[in-house]
Chains A and B, each alone.
Chain A
Amino acid sequence: MHDMSSHEVQHHAPPTSFIRTHVFSLDHKVIGKQYYGLALLAVFIGMFLSWLMRLHLGWTNLAIPGLHFLSANGAPGNVMTPEYYLQLMTMHGTIMVFFVLTTAPFAAFGNYFLPIQVGAEDMPFPHFNMMSFWVTFAGFLVLMSSFFTSDGPTLGGWTQYAPLSAIGAVAGPGQGLGVVLWACSIGLFCVGQLLGSLNFITTTLDMRTKGMSMWRLPLTVWGWFITSVMGLTAFAVLMPACILLILDHVAGTSFFVASNLVLNDQLQPHSGGSTLLWQHLFWFFGHPEVYIAIVPGMGIVSHVLLANLRRPLLSHRVLIYSMGALAVLSYMVYGHHMFVSGMNPVSSLAFSFPTLIITIPSTIIVLIWMGSIYGSKLRINTPSLFALGFVSMFISGGVSGFFLAQPSIDIMLHATYFVVGHFHLVMAVAAIFGIFAGTYFWFPKMFGRMMNDTLGKVHFWLTFVGAYCIFMPFHYLGIAGNVRRYQAFVDDYIQPLIPLHRFITVAAILTGLAQFIFLYNLIHSRFWGKPATDNPWEATSLEWSTPTTPPPHNNFGDKLPEVFHDPYQYGVESSVGDYVMQASPEKVKTVNEEA
């Protein structure tokens, strides 16, 4: 609650120098924009890598002009080698999961809007906040640096299963220095997220302004808060796992390498490690990570949707409880990644039931959204289209979870493109739709200008249809038994699927090209967009009550706002229209005041 002592802790004067204003800034808003910039850079690199991969999968011996400039060893004569394919795949997954799906919806938007939405001047630990971004950025540079090593980045996939990742260069190109750089990068990333999570949690608990009870927090804040709690536990496990992995490389330890392994006819000098230990540690992080990517998106989508439905949610609390249930259950389900890993088969059943049960809160969330659309006054604009697109993608990706939750069916679908289709829809595309919804919605507040709505809609249509054309066929490939992480399809039963791969490749390139419309819109609107009013969406939460747009250095000027209402009081009759802002003292007859 409101507490002057904590406000004093985070108070810092506006910077005067360029470096302190734009580079090593303590302002959560600048840090949020820095995270967004990093995610934007990362997503275009990740997408470019996916284009190269998709071209190679469709036409294996295709010479891609200029490819040898990226890697002379990886693409002699511009044709991708098998190992280079795997290296690009690993980097695509790592960049996207960590530096896009975690960075944009959580770290970028969370940094910018969480303090404003709770009514605070900044976060309680601004130096930690600055450090969290720069450590994350250093992690990104370390990861990118592996492209410039002699044998390239690691080829072990974003999951880095041991002992392929732990035994060293003898396992293949990139498995020496490449893995060490990968583990250093992800270790740094974990440090950044731990510092960020700490700030998010303390801001939410300690920095709320007068009248802002926990139940009055917008769903975005709940999403970031729940994600921070998950992040604190999940990244705290991945970081030591990365340290142990590095030690296996540089200190001669054998945490993840078993005895008596023979590579190139040589008995390896490791003993006593456990392959499954890595998998347990990784997935104890890895499954919560799925929710770390998607729960902020759920918050953003709810927030954007409600402003456009012009009504409160069917139940604010049920949605929060459901997001909380996802977070708790996410630690109990991770073993579903390991049904056929050699783990005790009884454990597989033990992990299967919570996985099936997690569909209940997920379903309730979707039903609450759908039930709120019912009877609403839905406004169609670019943010609401992306928010509705999120719901559609989340349903499509979610139903395939029914299959993968069952060990018996996983016998057929494990490590196939079905899994790739599932997680891309439910985690990647849905989260990206959340990012787009948030971007189009908050851009006016962040930059004081509107994004072009027509271009936004064109971007939406191409992306929505394109994403389905790419990822729905992945499920068909998986059902047919198409194993993932193959650089070419030499198996008799997989070869007939190559035309479907080619279709996906064409769809991926076209959908990727559509993202340049977004990039153009983003850059053009930043400088030449129509000037935005303080509250262009007629929304209710505190970010729309700042004295200026974009908000001033300390967010609210001389006086912090006081909160009088639930966050989504739409559909009421007030002096400003069909909504009442949280910071407005006006008494109105509310529809559904739950707080």
Chain B
Amino acid sequence: MAKFFAITIIVIAIASAIPIVRHTWDPPANISTHGGLIDEQTSETMAEAGISFLISQILLALFIWKFSSFRPGDKIKTFPGGAKTMVWAGFLLVGTEVLALGIFGVKAWADVYFIPPAVDAIPVQVQAGQFAFYFRYPGPDGKFGPAHPELINEGTQNFFGLDTDHDADSKDDIVTAEMAIPINKEIHLLMHTKDLGHSFYVPALRVHQDFVPGLDLSLHFTATKVGKYEIVCSQLCGLGHYNMKAYLEVMSQEDYDSWLKKQAALQ
């Protein structure tokens, strides 16, 4: 029974590692300038955690195998060095490992959150609400008109609560249900929610940020590959949460310019 248990542990440990080693299930490929660092950090952590996992499980199995079969006269043996070995191993092996991961990981985090957006980054506003994202571009004047929550009306498609009759800056604002951005240009994403907590998760971009009612948050990123990618909500926001999604289209500069013109004409 003990030997069979030991073999089962080893088989489970190895079987668990196979899909990871073979990359059977991977996230969508990275398309952002900062995402490479996140992927690298993940791979390093995977290597360290994976090795710790396999070694621990295999040792556990071997100990179960060996020490369950003893003869009546056998004496209890103490692990070399006793508890001190274990405490030192805990501090040195794992302590060093996690501190190294922590310190290296700071760079990946800092790239996303501590470096301010470039001055010429393209501003795009995103508004989350049950159960859709809407996007706003500032138009030729480069300014977003003020939003008036009391004017929000989905029936009249005034998603942001704009007062185009009175606010000059709002007149040329472009509101869309899909997000388009030019390739290799930094985007400054200005985030707010009209109702509840939501999240802006674009796996391909390696971007994930909650919307917080009452707070204006921002993110910046640069996409490096033309294509159509999914933006999904990851913060439970009600019955339609699973279906709260939009598409991000990364385009060449020319395509983006003409897309923006087309959208302006539709307003």
Chain A residues with a Cβ under 8 A of chain B: 81-83, 86, 155-157, 161-164, 167, 171-173, 175, 257-263, 265, 267, 273-276, 309-311, 314-315, 318, 340-342, 345, 348-349, 352-353, 356-357, 359-361, 363-364, 366-368, 370-380, 385, 388, 391-392, 395-396, 399-400, 402-403, 405-412, 414-416, 457, 464-465, 468, 472, 476-477, 479-481, 483-493, 497, 500, 571, 591
Contact = CB atoms under 8 A, between A and B. Distances in A.
A240 B77 CA distance: 52
Given A414-B234, A497-B25, A260 B101 contact: no
Closest 3 CB pairs of A and B: A258-B214, A375-B77, A315-B83
B232 A367 contact: no
Given A265-B155, A412-B38, A402 B64 contact: no
B89 A367 contact: yes
Nearest to B94: A363
Contact of B194 (A262, A345, A359, A385): A262
A436 B194 CA distance: 47
B53 interface: yes
B259 interface: no
Interface residues of B, number: 103
A349 B236 CA distance: 25
Interface string B24-57: 1111100000000110011001101110110011
B101 A406 contact: yes
A171 B198 CA distance: 13
B106 interface: yes
A233 to B, nearest CB: 26
Contacts of A262: 129, 149-150, 152, 161, 194-195
Interface of B: 1-2, 5, 8-9, 12, 16, 19-20, 24-28, 37-38, 41-42, 45-46, 48-50, 52-53, 56-57, 59-60, 63-64, 67-68, 70, 74, 76-79, 82-83, 85-87, 89-91, 93-95, 97-99, 101-102, 105-106, 108-109, 112-114, 129-130, 149-150, 152-155, 161, 194-197, 199, 201, 203, 206-215, 217, 230, 232-243, 245
B31 to A, nearest CB: 13
Given A257-B213, A408-B37, A472-B16, A373 B98 contact: no
Nearest to A315: B83
B49 A400 contact: yes
Contacts of B91: 360, 364
Contacts of B41: 406, 408-409
Given A352-B102, A363-B90, A161 B235 contact: yes
A402 B245 contact: no
A495 to B, nearest CB: 11
B212 A171 contact: no
Contacts of A173: 239
B248 to A, nearest CB: 12
B105 A164 contact: no
A318 B78 contact: no
24 contacts: A83-B239, A163-B213, A258-B215, A263-B196, A315-B86, A340-B208, A342-B210, A342-B217, A357-B98, A367-B89, A374-B77, A388-B5, A388-B60, A396-B16, A399-B49, A399-B53, A402-B48, A402-B52, A408-B105, A464-B8, A479-B25, A485-B236, A485-B242, A591-B76
A141 B19 CA distance: 43
Given A408-B37, A414-B208, 15 more contacts: A83-B239, A260-B214, A262-B195, A276-B215, A314-B78, A318-B86, A345-B113, A360-B98, A373-B63, A375-B77, A377-B67, A392-B9, A392-B60, A396-B57, A488-B242
Contacts of A81: 239
Contacts of A491: 230, 232, 245
Contacts of A412: 27, 38, 42, 203, 206, 208
Contacts of A155: 236, 238-239
Contacts of A276: 212, 215
A500 B152 CA distance: 41
Q: Which of B49, B161, B206 has the most CB of A within 10 A?
A: B49
Contacts of B210: 340-342
B76 A492 contact: no
Contacts of B63: 370, 373-374
Contacts, number: 309
A274 B213 CA distance: 8
A408 B90 contact: no
Given A161-B236, A314-B86, A275 B8 contact: no
B201 A483 contact: yes
B5 A380 contact: yes
B196 A345 contact: no
A360 B90 contact: yes
B60 A352 contact: no
A261 B213 CA distance: 7
A278 B1 CA distance: 49
Contact of A86 (B38, B149, B232, B236): B236
A342 B49 contact: no
Q: Which of B38, B77, B155, B241 has the most CB of A within 10 A?
A: B241
A370 B56 CA distance: 9
A371 B79 contact: yes
A261 B79 CA distance: 62
A108 to B, nearest CB: 27
A345 B102 contact: no
B90 A399 contact: no
Contacts of A172: 130, 238-239
A406 B45 contact: yes
Contacts of B106: 349, 408
A172 B49 CA distance: 41
Given A360-B95, A402-B45, A415 B234 contact: yes
Contacts of B211: 342
A54 to B, nearest CB: 16
A67 to B, nearest CB: 17
A344 to B, nearest CB: 9
Contact of B64 (A353, A388, A410): A388
Nearest to B112: A411
B99 A356 contact: yes
A265 B67 contact: no
A435 B215 CA distance: 43
A134 B38 CA distance: 50
A492 B199 CA distance: 18
A367 B86 contact: yes
A318 B242 contact: no
Given A342-B212, A487-B242, A476 B236 contact: no
A402 B86 contact: no
B38 A167 contact: no
